[in-house]
């Protein structure tokens, strides 16, 4: 209960501070971003040049953000993860970046751009900025190490009603595919899809809650309602700061998932185009890597920025390279992703 009270106090403090930091926002740049990413430390260069930070509109899920934009919401830049870029391009919602205006683009790790969906003869459609892992978060005082050696922990009757999965199509399917022996989701067969869906249906009754954002999962774990979760780095970072006994198992026998995200340049944004470049240049400054790791627990996609962080800190944060199996959330066929989305909604509804 002590941990829960500490976490509640910390989150309440952040809630009180948020309106204060939002009073001086630049009306000439609107950023559609993940909840928790409106961090002053990422926008120091932007504020130094423009006098204040951008205006933000936050979301908790990639599909939520896409539906918002597809329904007519106008923003200047957005922060999707890699598997969403094809969908934005197909809907003609984004335009290429002019990388001649982004000096640090040369230092973005090449592995994050190895797809014609991100970069082709028409230009660069996606600027990778951050990456992390989805793995097993667990209460180290109540869950023995042997129980989280396998993803079967989610089927373990001892944890029925004490687990949490993300309310997120990509992460939940990455989990189910790994649990059923698939480590590359770029060419999933009908049989593999069905096996993963069956696994999710088996696990569904054990789920206490499908968490929508890292703060929600942190609360669930801090109160003791949830003992094991399929989690991003964010929740682990929050709980560690509050002194909660949290572990992050990144090497279960079946593997874990990795993801990377970045920024797109929306067509016909309401703000000033030059400020979109001020924004991405501020994000890519080497100093931003420290804020990203300390506040969210993610690693920077810019090699020069990442080099400012000692390796032992990357290991402690759970973003260093690992020896085990990793399913990388690279772009997949939009039709398959839509199929996953629809099936997941049916599973959550009990069908």
Going from the C-alpha of 56 to that of each of 23, 35, 40, 282, the distances in angstroms are 12, 9, 12, 15
Specify the higher pLDDT residue, 11 or 45. Answer: 45
Q: Where in the chain are the domains? A: 18-131+260-317, 133-257+321-348
pTM, whole model, 2 decimals? 0.90
Give residue 127's pLDDT. Answer: 98
Q: Does domain 18-131+260-317 bear CATH number 3.40.50.300? A: no
Give residue 206's pLDDT. Answer: 97
Full 3-state SS string of 269-298: CCCCHHHHHHHHHHHCCCCHHHHHHHHHCC
Domains 18-131+260-317 and 133-257+321-348 share a fold: yes
Q: How confident is the model at residue 54 (pLDDT cuts 50, 70, 90)?
A: very high
Q: Nearest-CA neighbor of 237 among 171, 294, 321? A: 294
- Give the pLDDT confidence of 292-339 residue by residue, as tens digits: 999 999 999 999 999 999 999 999 999 999 999 999 999 999 999 999
The class (CATH top level) of 133-257+321-348 is alpha beta
């Amino acid at each position: 209960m002590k941990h829960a009270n500490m976490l509640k106090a910390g989150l309440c403090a952040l809630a009180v501070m948020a309106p204060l930091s939002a009073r001086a926002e630049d009306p000439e740049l609107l950023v559609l971003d993940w909840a928790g990413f409106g961090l002053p430390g990422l926008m120091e260069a932007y504020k130094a040049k423009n006098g204040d930070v951008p205006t933000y509109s936050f979301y908790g899920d990639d599909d939520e953000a896409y539906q918002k934009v597809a329904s007519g919401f106008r923003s200047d830049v957005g922060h999707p993860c890699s598997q969403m870029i094809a969908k934005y391009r197909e809907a003609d919602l984004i335009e290429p970046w002019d990388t001649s205006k982004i000096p640090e683009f040369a230092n973005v790790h090449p592995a994050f751009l190895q797809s014609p969906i991100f970069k082709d003869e028409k230009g660069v459609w996606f600027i990778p900025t951050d990456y992390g892992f989805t793995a097993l978060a667990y209460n180290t005082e109540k869950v023995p190490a042997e129980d989280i050696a396998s993803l079967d922990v989610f089927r373990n009757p001892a944890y029925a009603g004490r687990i949490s999965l993300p309310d997120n199509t990509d992460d939940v399917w990455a989990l189910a595919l790994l649990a059923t022996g698939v480590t590359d989701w770029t060419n999933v067969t009908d049989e593999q899809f069905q096996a993963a869906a069956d696994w999710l249906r088996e696990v569904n009754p054990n789920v206490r809650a499908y968490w929508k954002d890292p703060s929600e999962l942190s609360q669930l774990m801090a109160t003791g309602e949830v003992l094991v979760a399929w989690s991003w780095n964010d929740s682990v970072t929050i709980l560690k700061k509050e002194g909660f006994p949290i572990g992050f198992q990144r090497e279960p026998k079946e593997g874990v998932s990795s993801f990377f995200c970045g920024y797109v340049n929306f067509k016909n944004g309401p703000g000033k185009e030059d400020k979109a470049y001020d924004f991405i240049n501020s994000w890519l400054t080497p100093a931003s890597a420290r804020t990203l790791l300390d506040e969210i627990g993610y690693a920077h996609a810019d090699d020069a920025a990442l080099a400012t962080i000692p390796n032992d800190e990357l290991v402690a944060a759970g973003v260093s390279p690992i020896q085990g199996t990793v399913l990388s959330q690279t772009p997949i066929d939009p039709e398959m992703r839509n199929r996953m989305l629809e099936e997941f909604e049916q599973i959550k509804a009990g069908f």
